[in-house]
């Protein structure tokens, strides 16, 4: 029987604890969770990713997550120097469960965001809603609304006085909400935890979120995102690229093409060799079109290999290879490697340099169908 998300989270956390030589506690089976509110405030627990889970006379045990810093543990031990302090690793799911008890969600009416209403009025309403809810609910609600509006990206940007949330819809950015810096730090902490990145990193980072979340209303939100963060002068800015791929919906006949356009594309992609480039700005549908073409070509008679940074959607029957460019890997080097695997179709996520372009052209001229994008 397949493990559910919580069981996998606990299993991974137990393995991590063993690697770190730490004690681990599975909080999923605890029927009662006493709250020791005298040790820390709720904002401290959110900011430091730490929660008191056990306490007796002279002894207190804190639950920490994999993103809790050593500095936090040291400071906590010093703060309660008159007691025996211990730390145990708990899962992110376990931490969130405790925070729901320490900080119960307010009863909030989640309104759908409208880009056609008076902009300033809508931004004020959504800002007020976000100010009342937990960090995890903030993230899930923002993602849910972005999907509903067909947004390609969510932009989280710090300014001198606040942080703003904007959606890119059909290539245009629309203001959605403003958050004070404390609330934005909570949102960023939830984002970092879900995407497995750090809020204190001094360099840009890339993370991924692929999980389901239940809002306080009971509504399920599926989050499939690529997360890019970069430290700015007023804090950490982030861009969330939204993916809502379902393999049965990735078809050329669902792209809104005219009959003559669909006929021309079908004719092109069914050639045994050549180079097919999909060109356009951010959010124009390059990736969706590329995956739809792959789905069209995917059959037992063809060997299809993709090179992607990152692999954004897995398709059954296709060999997909991640290219970790941040670690020094290049599309061109991987391209030359997969040529030895005798593919019929090669998809390169993006042509970024002359070397990749040259290799792609050589492959296209020597009996391969090459698919790629150019930004």
The residue among 157 and 373 whose pLDDT is bigger is: 157
Which residues have C-beta within 8 Å of that of residue 247, sequence separation ≥ 6? Answer: 295, 313, 315, 316
How high is the pLDDT of residue 353? 86
Contact of 295 with 247, CB cutoff 8 Å? yes
Q: 């809502």: which residue's tokens?
A: 244
DSSP state of 111: P
Instruction: Please give the pLDDT value at position 210.
Output: 78
Res 160: pLDDT: 93
Cβ of 202: how many Cβ atoms within 10 Å?
6
Higher pLDDT, 2 or 67: 67
CB of 279 within 8 A of CB of 360?
no
Higher pLDDT among residues 287 and 238, named by residue: 238
Please give the pLDDT value at position 118: 47
Query: Mean pLDDT across the stretch 185-191?
Result: 91
Query: CA-CA distance, 161 to 163, in Å (whole number)?
Result: 7
Whether 37 contacts 81, CB under 8 Å: no
Per-residue pLDDT tens over the stretch 304-333? 999 988 787 778 899 999 887 767 777 888
| C-alpha span between 371 and 279 (Å, rounded) | 11
Give me the sheet containing 304-308, strands edge to edge: 274-279, 369-374, 345-348, 304-308, 319-322
Give residue-wise pLDDT tens across range 99-154: 988 988 666 667 778 776 545 567 888 898 888 888 888 898 999 899 888 888 99
DSSP states along 13-64: HHHHHHHHT-EE--GGG-S-----TTS--HHHHHHHTEEEEEEETTEEEEEE
Q: Which of the given ranges, 28-32, 176-180, 285-289, has the highest pLDDT on average?
A: 176-180
Percent of the chain's residues with pLDDT above 90: 41
Cα dist from 216 to 8, 125, 177, 249, whole Å? 23, 18, 20, 29
Left (φ > 0), alpha (ψ -120 to 50) or beta: where does 206 sit? beta
pLDDT band (50, 70, 90) for residue 248? low
Q: What pLDDT score does 120 carry?
A: 59
pLDDT beyond 90 at 220: no
The C-alpha atoms of residue 27 and residue 98 are separated, in whole angstroms, by: 9
Average pLDDT over residues 266-278: 92
> Which residues on neighbouring strands pair with residue 223, listed in sequence order?
211
Q: What's the pTM value of the predicted model, to 2 decimals?
A: 0.58
- d(CA 196, CA 83) in angstroms, rounded, equals 32
The CA distance from 28 to 5, in Å, is 12
Give the pLDDT band (50/70/90) at residue 1. Answer: very low
């Amino acid at each position: 029987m397949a493990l559910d998300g919580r069981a996998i989270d606990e299993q991974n956390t137990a393995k991590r604890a063993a690697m770190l030589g730490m004690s681990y506690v599975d909080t999923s089976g605890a029927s009662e969770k006493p709250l020791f509110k005298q040790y820390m405030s709720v904002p401290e627990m959110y900011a430091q990713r730490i929660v008191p889970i056990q306490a007796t006379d002279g002894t207190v045990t804190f639950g920490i997550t994999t993103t809790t810093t050593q500095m936090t543990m040291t400071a906590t031990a010093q703060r309660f120097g008159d007691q025996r302090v211990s730390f145990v690793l708990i899962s992110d799911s376990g931490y969130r469960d405790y925070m729901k008890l320490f900080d119960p969600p307010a009863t909030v009416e989640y309104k759908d965001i409208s880009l056609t209403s008076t902009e300033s009025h809508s931004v004020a309403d959504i800002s007020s809603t976000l100010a009342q809810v937990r960090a995890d609910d903030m993230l899930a609600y923002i993602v849910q609304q972005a999907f509903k509006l067909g947004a390609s990206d969510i932009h989280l940007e710090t300014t001198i006085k606040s942080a703003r949330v904007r959606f890119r819809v059909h290539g245009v950015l629309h203001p959605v909400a403003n958050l004070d810096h404390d609330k934005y730090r909570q949102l960023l902490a939830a984002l970092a935890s879900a995407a497995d990145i750090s809020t204190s990193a001094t360099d840009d980072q890339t993370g991924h979120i692929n999980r389901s979340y239940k809002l306080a209303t009971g509504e399920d939100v599926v989050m499939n995102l690529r997360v890019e963060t970069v430290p700015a002068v007023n804090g950490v800015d982030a861009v969330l690229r939204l993916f809502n791929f379902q393999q049965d919906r990735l078809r050329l006949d669902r792209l809104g093409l005219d009959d003559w356009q669909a006929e021309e594309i079908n004719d092109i992609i069914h050639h045994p060799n050549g180079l097919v480039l999909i060109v356009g700005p951010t959010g124009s549908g390059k990736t969706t079109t590329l995956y739809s073409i792959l789905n069209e070509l995917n059959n037992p008679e063809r060997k299809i290999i993709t090179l992607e940074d990152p692999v954004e959607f897995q398709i059954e029957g296709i060999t997909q290879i991640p290219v970790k460019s941040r670690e020094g890997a290049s599309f061109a080097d991987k391209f030359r490697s997969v040529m030895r695997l005798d593919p019929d179709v090669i998809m390169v996520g993006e042509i970024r340099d002359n070397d990749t372009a040259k290799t792609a052209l050589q492959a296209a001229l020597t009996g391969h169908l090459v698919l790629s994008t150019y930004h």
